[in-house]
């Protein structure tokens, strides 16, 4: 580590985001926020450090071990949020009299988990939660499913579906094979949850290893496969239909279990089939969690989007505009004498809404400036030499085709707006 | 602290942002980003944890004491960024061959400083930096000043000005009174910097206490007041003029010193006169800092915006849209039987771009739903009872005036778009 001073590096599990990556991330987050706000959800943010007491002991020892915690200079035990649900429970406890319930909020922030690096998992990632606090109605669950379906469509995904189930269905099925104790029920649910990743035989084997008799296991799969949606799921399906969500986007899946113990009602998971990236959002109803986490006794339902996974999928499948930059044109500087004209042109373009770069050095050779535009992926360069200035024109060079045309200054804006939209999708 | 479990609280110096506050913050950040991107600046982000070696020992002991640092479970000494310049220096060092210089980037992220709480300062705040790396030209400084002036105008500030000076002018003036050693020069500059907050006599007194003879101090102020812009400042003023920045927004101020040692050329500070909130952005050229911080040997110039201060000023002076929510209408639910029609209306409104809330409980009384809309500041409620449904109409209630009108479903969108813009500025 003594070499660090000479060779700076980023911590494992943490990432630097260069402009190309940031632009995709920003586009995804902006799009998702737009959908959330169109549904009447409100933004919220909580700190990146909390009292350790607030964050620890909520999800068990395994989770606690992943929390970054330390003693600050004032001797306080502090910690960095592992998720956004616990800080929200804190916020709801503090501001419960100031908040209007039902409370629809979204929250997009970094969270930290000290996962083992060999898993290839990030230790810092963007959590994106959208939840409704204070409604027990299946309509609230339906709103979450509808917002998920609309978000995925707006992001450009075509072949996806949302799996739906209800923890109550699983509880009832397990009762039928005489599994009623909470601990055993949750332990079996955690194993059923693996059906997503493992073949059925292996899951069966694991259930048998966990002391379930072979006949019980067979019976269990038989009744799981024969299960049908309960009342709340039926209401959710109707609400989604009324909202115009196509049926192909929704699937009742009685094997959907979701790994986490705290789900108490409907559960859901969005799966993208093409590109084959699996689950990119998951959630459900968790009516008892907020109180358990230290918040008020209110029902809740919501979903988390995997932003990093969504970004990866969109890049890999060219579903997102991957143009190198929002900048439409570089205004070059012919010489120090013509600098004023170049600055003035850049200002005009900028104030008419065209993202415009101005080369920040009047001494640089034109060739160097054109190369700069090319490397940055800027589609046009504006050249303003003494001849152009005398004629009241600007030479516009298309960096892709090499084509050049001379235009009156006043027409440049129009040309860039047209040309720009032809070249770039956004 | 043992009571924390019962009474959750937020750490001192840290803030929870409820929707009202978030909306203003989001509006400011969105506006500023738009300006930055219109100037061809690119987004960048770095992690919230770095090797402590990367962050410490850069700005001296005083700053190091404010850094949150700890040992992670892997035994690594890690720390949370104190500013964004040091992480950027790291990033430039790692990716210098991947980045195209001159590199124009903006970066808006949380940073952490363990300031004493009695100062009333935040320990977690949003840092907003915009810089150009790799250009020595005064045109780069000018671009930073122009972007600042345009940003402040777009944010709605009317009476502001940007103070300009050049460290070289101060160095030259101090030479004239025989102050040439670096340490003494910087120490005198740090005292002159206090002219902003203290009367001149007190600053003079402090200079005399610091072993400067009375005659020298008098001479110093005499030559400061007689100073005129040097070559680089003259070029900056010309560039700003060519960009159409009004002269009243710029002031040469030879007493502007900026407290930090690392400035090497032009320095600037934006001051808002009305509302009287003082400096809201500050920066300058720092050609030797990036190398000193562990980055490559490249010149740099840039500015930092005080987002928290800007938000406060905008709220206090009603310069920002303080409407309670972006949501334009609440679609109410008359009864469980008419739920489908309400869901369908909400979907239509949402897909035509109107931010629409749907009350998430079909069992709630209409009165309760109207109160919910009122408390959230939603300007309209849509009521869809059996009569309305039979007639193919919707009753639209203006929550401010109480006025109600019945409209065909197809006209609701138009009405809300018009009504919405009349009621709310945005």
pLDDT tens-digit profile of B13-35?
999 999 999 999 999 999 999 99
Q: Phi-psi category of A134—alpha, beta or left, where left has phi over 0 and alpha has psi -120 to 50?
A: left
Residues forming a β-bridge with B409: none
Is residue A291 pLDDT above 80, yes or no?
yes
Q: What is the pLDDT of residue A4?
A: 43
What does each C-alpha distance from B1 to A79, A92, B7, B185, B380 come to in angstroms? 15, 20, 10, 48, 46
Residue with tokens 């909390």: A50
Separation of alpha carbons A376 and A324, rounded Å: 6
Q: How confident is the model over A134-154, as a mean pLDDT? A: 97
Averaged pLDDT score across all residues of chain A: 91
Q: Do B340 and A242 touch (CB under 8 A)?
A: yes
* Residue A391 burial by Cβ neighbours in a 10 Å radius (0-12, 13-18, 19+): exposed
Res. A421: pLDDT tops 50? no
The gap between the terminal CA atoms of chain A, to the nearest Å, is 45
Q: Does A75 touch chain B (CB under 8 A)?
A: no
CB A34 within 8 A of CB B30: no
For the stretch A224-250, pLDDT in tens is 989 999 999 999 999 999 999 999 999
- Does residue A374 surpass a pLDDT of 80? yes
Evaluate the CA torsion angle B227, B139, B105, B296 in order and state its sign.
Answer: negative
Q: Note the maximum CA span of chain B.
A: 92
Percent helix / strand / coil, chain B, rounded to 5: 45, 20, 35
Question: What is the mean pLDDT of the segment spanning B175-204?
Answer: 89
Q: In this complex, which of A42, A93, A358 lies closest to B19 when CB atoms are compared?
A: A42
CB-based contact A407:A394 (threshold 8 Å): yes
Mutate to test the interface with A, among B19, B97, B112, B143 (most CBs of A within 10 A): B19
Q: Which of A126, A21, A11 is nearest to B55 (CA)?
A: A11
β-pair partners for B159: B274
Buried b (16+ CB within 10 A) or exposed e, B122-133: bbbbbbbbbbbb
Name which of A29, A33, A45, A102 to mutate to probe chain B: the one with the most chain B Cβ atoms within 10 A of its Cβ: A45
Task: Please give the torsion angle defined by the CA atoms of residues B211, B216, B222 and B224, in that order, rounded to the nearest 10 degrees.
Answer: -60
- β pairing state of A124-133 and A300-306: antiparallel
What is the per-residue pLDDT for B234?
97
What is the tens place of the pLDDT at every residue in B207-216? Answer: 998 878 899 8
- Report whether pLDDT(B81) > 80: yes
Q: Encoding tokens for residue B70? A: 């700890």
Say how far residue A301 (Cα) sits from the centre of its chain.
18
Nearest chain A residue to B354 by CA: give it. Answer: A38
pLDDT at B325: 86
Angle at Cα B228 formed by Cα B224 and Cα B234, nearest 5°?
Answer: 145
Strand order in the sheet with A69-71: A50-51, A77-79, A69-71
**How many angstroms separate the CA atoms of A100 and A135, rounded?**
12
Average pLDDT, chain B: 91
- Which of B160, B158, B162 minimizes the C-alpha distance to B256? B162
Assign B420 a pLDDT band (cuts: 50, 70, 90).
very low
Q: What is the pLDDT of residue A420?
A: 47
Between B276 and A71, name the one with better pLDDT.
A71
For B238-392, list the strands marked E by DSSP.
250-252, 266-274, 278-285, 300-306, 329-331, 356-358, 380-383
Nearest to A340 among B19, B238, B325 (CB): B238
A325–B49: do the CB atoms touch at under 8 Å? no
Domain B11-316 has what CATH class?
alpha beta
Residue of B nearest to A26 (CA): B43
Q: Which part of chain B has CATH 3.40.50.800?
A: 329-417
Element (H, E) at A274: strand A266-274
User: Which three-class secondary structure state does DSSP give residue A219?
Assistant: helix
Selected residue with higher pLDDT from B103 and B278 = B103
Question: B275: distance to nearest CA of chain A, Å?
Answer: 26
Please indicate whether, in this complex, the C-beta atoms of A93 and B239 are within 8 angstroms of each other.
no
**Chain centroid to CA A323: how far?**
20
User: How much is the pLDDT for B119?
Assistant: 66
- Going by C-alpha positions, the residue among A293, A395, A250, A413 that lies closest to residue A347 is A413
Query: How many C-beta neighbours within 10 Å does residue B337 have?
Result: 11
Contacts of A171 (CB under 8 A, 6+ apart): A185
| pLDDT tens figures, A83-138 | 999 999 999 999 999 999 999 999 999 999 999 877 668 999 999 999 999 999 99
Residue with tokens 């469980």: B336
Tell me the C-alpha to C-alpha distance, in Å, between residue A88 and each of A48, A133, A293, B165, B267. 12, 10, 9, 46, 42
Nearest to B283 by CA among B300, B298, B299: B300
Question: What value does the mean pLDDT take over residues B371-375?
Answer: 96
**Nearest 5°: phi and psi at A141?**
-60, -40
Q: What is the mean pLDDT of residues B377-395?
A: 96
Query: Would the CB atoms of A46 and B8 count as touching at under 8 Å?
Result: no
In the prediction, which pLDDT does A425 show? 38
pLDDT at B273: 85
In contact, A41 and A165? CB cutoff 8 Å? no
Could B139 and A361 be called an inter-chain contact, meaning their C-beta atoms sit closer than 8 Å? yes
Cis peptide before B59 (omega within 30 of 0): no
Cβ separation B372–A102 shorter than 8 A: yes
Closest CA to A269 of A238, A304, A225: A304
Q: What pLDDT, on the 0 to 100 scale, is given for residue A35? A: 97
How high is the pLDDT of residue B419? 66
Partner residue opposite A10 with nearest CB, options B15, B47, B136: B47
Question: d(Cα B375, Cα A99) in Å, to the nearest integer?
Answer: 9
**Residues whose CB falls within 8 Å of the CB of residue B395, separated by 6 or more in sequence, listed in order:** B382, B383, B384, B385, B388, B404, B405, B406, B407
With a cut of 60, say whether residue A2 has pLDDT above it.
no
Task: Quickly list H helices, B317-393.
Answer: 339-351, 366-376, 386-391
In chain B, % of residues over pLDDT 90: 75
Give contacts of B99 with chain A, Cβ < 8 Å.
18
A11, A18, A327 member nearest B47 (Cβ)? A11
Q: How many angstroms separate the Cα of A337 from the Cα of each of A340, A363, A408?
A: 8, 10, 20
**pLDDT tens, position by position, B218-232:** 999 999 989 999 999
* B383 in Cβ contact with B391 (< 8 Å): no
**pLDDT, position A424:** 34
Distance CA A255, CA A166 (A): 10
Which 205-264 residues of chain B touch chain A by CB within 8 A?
A: 238-239, 242-244
B382 upstream amide cis, omega within 30 of 0: no
Q: Which residue spans of chain A are classified as CATH 3.30.930.10?
A: 11-316
Q: Residues A325-335: what's their mean pLDDT?
A: 95
Domain A329-417 has CATH 3.30.70.270: no
Give the β-pairing of B124-133 and B300-306. Answer: antiparallel
pLDDT at B245: 97
Residue in the block written with tokens 């930096």: B129
What local confidence, expressed as pLDDT, does residue B395 receive? 97
**A124-133 and A159-166 as β-strands: parallel, antiparallel, unpaired?**
unpaired
Q: For residue A404, which phi and psi values (nearest 5 degrees)?
A: -125, 140
Q: How confident is the model at residue B322 (pLDDT cuts 50, 70, 90)?
A: low
DSSP SS3 for B276: coil
Cβ pair A48, B10 in contact under 8 A:
no
Give the count of alpha carbons within 13 A of A109, CB side only. Answer: 24
Contact A323, A425 (CB under 8 A): yes
Contacts of B327 in chain A (CB under 8 A): 37, 40
Q: What are phi and psi of A304, to 5 degrees?
A: -115, 130
Contact B277, B107 (CB under 8 A): no
Model pTM score? 0.92
The label of the residue with tokens 């009742």 reads: A252
- The complex scores an ipTM of 0.91
Of B38, B90, B112, the CB nearest to A356: B38
Q: Identify the H or E element spanning B218.
A: helix B214-226
Q: What is the arithmetic mean of pLDDT over B389-402?
A: 96
Inform me whether the pLDDT recorded for A194 exceeds 60: yes
Contact A24, A330 (CB under 8 A): no
Q: Report, as an integer, the average pLDDT of B62-72.
A: 94
Q: Which residue has the tokens 């003035």?
A: A344
Measured CA to CA, the distance from residue B118 to residue A65 in angstroms comes to 34
pLDDT-derived band of residue A3, with 50, 70 and 90 as boundaries?
Answer: very low
pLDDT over threshold 90, residue B418: no
């Amino acid at each position: 580590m003594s070499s660090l001073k000479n060779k700076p590096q980023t911590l494992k599990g943490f990432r630097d985001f260069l402009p190309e990556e940031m632009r995709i991330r920003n586009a995804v987050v902006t799009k998702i926020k737009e959908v959330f706000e169109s549904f009447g959800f409100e933004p919220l943010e909580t700190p990146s450090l909390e009292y350790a007491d607030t964050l620890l002991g909520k999800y068990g020892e395994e989770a606690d071990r992943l929390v970054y915690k330390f003693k600050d200079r004032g001797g306080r035990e502090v910690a960095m949020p592992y998720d956004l649900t616990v800080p929200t429970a804190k916020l709801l406890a503090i501001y419960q009299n100031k908040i209007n319930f039902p409370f629809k909020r979204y929250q997009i922030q970094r969270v930290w988990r000290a996962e083992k690096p060999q898993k290839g998992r990030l230790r810092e990632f963007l959590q994106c939660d959208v939840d409704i606090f204070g409604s027990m109605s299946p309509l609230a669950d339906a709103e979450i499913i509808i917002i998920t379906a609309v978000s995925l469509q707006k992001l450009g995904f075509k072949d996806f579906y949302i799996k739906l189930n209800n923890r109550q269905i699983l509880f009832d099925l397990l009762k039928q094979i005489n599994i009623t104790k909470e601990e055993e029920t949750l332990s079996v649910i955690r194993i059923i949850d693996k059906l997503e990743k493992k073949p059925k035989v292996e899951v069966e084997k694991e259930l048998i290893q966990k002391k379930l008799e072979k006949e019980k296991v067979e019976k269990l799969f038989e009744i799981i496969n024969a299960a049908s949606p309960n009342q709340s799921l039926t209401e959710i399906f109707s609400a989604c239909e009324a909202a115009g969500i196509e049926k192909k986007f929704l699937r009742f899946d009685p094997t959907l279990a979701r790994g986490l113990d705290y789900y108490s009602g409907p559960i859901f998971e969005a799966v993208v089939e093409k590109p084959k990236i699996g689950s990119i959002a998951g959630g459900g109803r968790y009516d008892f969690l907020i109180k358990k986490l230290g918040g008020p006794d209110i029902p809740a339902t919501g979903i988390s989007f995997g932003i990093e996974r969504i970004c990866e999928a969109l890049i890999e499948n060219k579903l997102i505009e991957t143009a190198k930059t929002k900048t439409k044109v570089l205004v070059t500087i012919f010489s120090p004498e013509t600098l004023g004209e170049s600055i003035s042109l850049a200002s005009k373009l900028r104030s008419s809404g065209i993202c415009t770069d101005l080369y920040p050095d009047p001494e640089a050779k034109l060739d160097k400036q054109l190369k700069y535009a090319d490397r940055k992926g800027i589609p046009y360069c504006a050249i303003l030499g003494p001849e152009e200035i005398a004629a009241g024109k600007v030479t516009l060079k298309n960096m892709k085709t090499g084509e050049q045309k001379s235009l009156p200054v006043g027409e440049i804006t129009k040309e860039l707006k047209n040309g720009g939209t032809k070249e770039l999708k956004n």
